[in-house]
Chain A
Amino acid sequence: MVEILLVSLVIVVTAFVMEPSGTDVVLLDNNRSQNAIIVTTEGGSVTIDTPYEGTSLESSSKAPSTPETVSDAALTADDADTFAAVPPPPLTLTLYFENNSDELTPKSHRDLNMILPLLRELSPLHVAITGYTDTTGSASYNLALSEKRASALRTLLEQQHVAMRRCQTDGLGEYLLQVQTPDETNEPKNRRVEITIR
């Protein structure tokens, strides 16, 4: 992996960096447990897994500097505009399905009906609909089932006249389980679609 990264460094263009050149990289907080970066130059590599620690790169041949804590104030003083441009977190809605089916559970049907007026209010929506399954059945079967679930929900929204500016449906099968279970485990909470609305 590192070799591949190093090969790619050769083609970086530095022609139009006029000021004293260099790059600062800071890990921010993503409110999740999984958060780390690996910063690599030809001179070496550092891993940062503590939010608000940063490293500076002086040149491609020098190793990244030892990570140091960066104050929030220092970060935002110069780059308030960049922080202001960060998209607000999306509205996420999770709906659940009957076993081995692309039919919503009665409760999720009711939840969807309740939220429809709000969705119409927010339309035209920019939505991403991702389907998931539990771990019963084969991985490839579940991938197809999860795609069916996502499409079924898209059809439901269209039938209910929710206008969409952009709608993307994907299925991730038994990846990214909501509840971690062993294989071949019936788990209603994993039979779901997540609707991300921006």
Chain B
Amino acid sequence: MKRLLLLCLMSLQLWSAEAVAVLDSQKNEVGIRRGGDVITPKDSGAELYPGDILFTGKEGALSILFNDGSTVALGHKSVLKIDDYLFEPSQKAYRFDLSLSEGSAIVETGKIGKLSPESVTFRVPEGTIGVRGTRFFVKVH
């Protein structure tokens, strides 16, 4: 149990260490839910971390740029969670797990999609989307 706690703490440490993406652009009402807080980013360039939930209002939109060059555009009234993300070429460690519970997204995978497409999972309420080096559109309604 202790060891498990330690592991959790260690992973939290890792998570807080380095941003995995930045907010590339935003329009109108957008927010980031991180733990118990909601952050309303002032300008683009806000750093994003695994566990972050991004959401847009009814006129809102945003785009995200991940460390491997993957991009995600999010339309109005959308909710997207960064479940997990890792881009560590020197360790050959890649993870790209996002879930869209509401709204629309356009996803274009970057280097992870070329190097390790099997590491990419995009979840929607009914199922999952896996890729082979890809650009796709999703709408949850």
Contacts and interface: CB of A to CB of B under 8 A. Distances in A.
Contacts, number: 192
Given A34-B114, A82-B61, A82-B104, A87 B71 contact: yes
Interface string B99-115: 10110111010010011
A102 to B, nearest CB: 16
A125 B126 CA distance: 40
B62 interface: yes
Interface string B16-36: 000000101101000000000
B99 A171 contact: no
Interface residue range, chain B? 35 or more
B136 A28 contact: yes
B73 A40 contact: no
Q: Label chain B's interface by main secondary structure.
A: strand
A23 B125 contact: yes
Interface string B101-141: 11011101001001100100101111111111111111111
Contacts of A13: 101, 125
Interface in B51-67: 61-63, 65, 67
A126 B64 CA distance: 13
A1 B121 CA distance: 11
Interface of A: 1, 5, 8-9, 12-14, 16-17, 19-30, 32, 34-42, 49, 54, 57-60, 62, 64, 75, 78-79, 81-87, 90, 126, 128, 130, 143, 147, 165-166, 168, 170-173, 175-176, 196, 198
Given A25-B124, A37-B132, A79-B75, 18 more contacts: A1-B130, A8-B123, A12-B99, A16-B79, A23-B141, A25-B138, A26-B137, A27-B137, A35-B135, A37-B130, A49-B132, A81-B61, A81-B75, A82-B104, A85-B63, A85-B106, A128-B69, A175-B115
The 4 tightest CB contacts between A and B, nearest first, are A82-B75, A34-B133, A41-B127, A30-B135
Interface of B: 22, 24-25, 27, 45, 61-63, 65, 67, 69, 71, 73-76, 79, 87, 89-90, 99, 101-102, 104-106, 108, 111, 114-115, 118, 121, 123-141
